[in-house]
């Protein structure tokens, strides 16, 4: 079984969305983790937009990368440039993948405009994670 880590700056939004979709698409074919170089807590809007897509991430937690130094990861996916550039040395032989998704937590405007940005990022992450699972986990 493959171990997959999704890494972001605060493990609050993008990495939480990715963890939710990876678990959904991989089912029981991989162990999925997410972490940040900081810990900001799971964003309530992230929970809400995943509920809209039928996925419950309310039980996920915000974790620091140091918690996983001893896990033998097969893949590490960074979902923001800051995490890719600022991640402390992480002892792994994992295949490293990177895609910089827009940060919906930085969206401004009305609540409707902010939620639209969350949904847009959700769809980008959903597509990427489904492709990742199809190419690397279920093959």
Choosing from 5, 6, 7, 8, which is the catalytic residue?
8
- DSSP code of 89? P
Q: How confident is the model at residue 23 (pLDDT cuts 50, 70, 90)?
A: very high
Q: How confident is the model at residue 14 (pLDDT cuts 50, 70, 90)?
A: very high
Name the CA dihedral angle for 74, 43, 55, 129, rounded to a multiple of 10 degrees: -30
Q: Which of 8-12, 50-54, 123-127 has the lowest mean pLDDT?
A: 8-12
For residue 78, list its beta bridge partners. Answer: 7, 98
**Does residue 13 carry a catalytic annotation?**
no
Model pLDDT, residue 15? 96
Question: Domains plus CATH for the chain?
Answer: 2-137 (3.40.50.2300)
Q: Which of 4-8, 50-54, 94-98, 100-104 has the lowest mean pLDDT?
A: 94-98
Q: How confident is the model at residue 122 (pLDDT cuts 50, 70, 90)?
A: very high
Contact (Cβ atoms closer than 8 angstroms) between residue 14 and residue 21: no
The 10 Å CB-count burial string (b at 16+, else e) for 79-88 is: bbebbbeebe
CA 110 to chain centroid, in Å, comes to 25
Calculate the alpha carbon distances from 86 to 2, 12, 47, 83, 138 in Å: 25, 16, 26, 5, 31
Model pLDDT, residue 139? 62
Which DSSP string do the residues of 48-63 spell out, in sequence order? HHHHHTT---TT----
Measured CA to CA, the distance from residue 19 to residue 57 in angstroms comes to: 8
Choosing from 35, 79, 80, 137, which is the catalytic residue?
80
Q: Is the pLDDT of residue 29 over 80?
A: yes
**Predicted TM-score of the model (pTM):** 0.93
Average pLDDT, the chain: 91
Choosing from 87, 97, 115, 124, which is the catalytic residue?
87
Measured CA to CA, the distance from residue 70 to residue 55 in angstroms comes to: 29
Model pLDDT, residue 138? 79
């Amino acid at each position: 079984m493959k171990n997959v880590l999704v890494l972001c700056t605060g493990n609050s939004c993008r990495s939480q969305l990715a963890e939710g979709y990876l678990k959904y698409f991989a089912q029981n074919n991989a162990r999925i983790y997410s972490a940040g170089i900081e810990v900001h807590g799971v964003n309530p809007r992230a929970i809400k937009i995943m509920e809209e897509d039928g996925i419950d991430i309310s039980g996920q937690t915000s974790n620091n990368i140091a918690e996983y130094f001893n896990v033998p990861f097969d893949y590490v996916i960074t979902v923001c440039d800051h995490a890719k550039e600022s991640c402390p040395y992480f002892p792994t032989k994992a295949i490293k993948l990177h895609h910089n998704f827009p940060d919906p937590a930085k969206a401004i405007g009305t609540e409707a405009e902010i939620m639209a940005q969350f949904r847009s990022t959700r769809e980008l992450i959903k597509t990427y994670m489904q492709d990742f699972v199809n190419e690397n986990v279920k093959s």
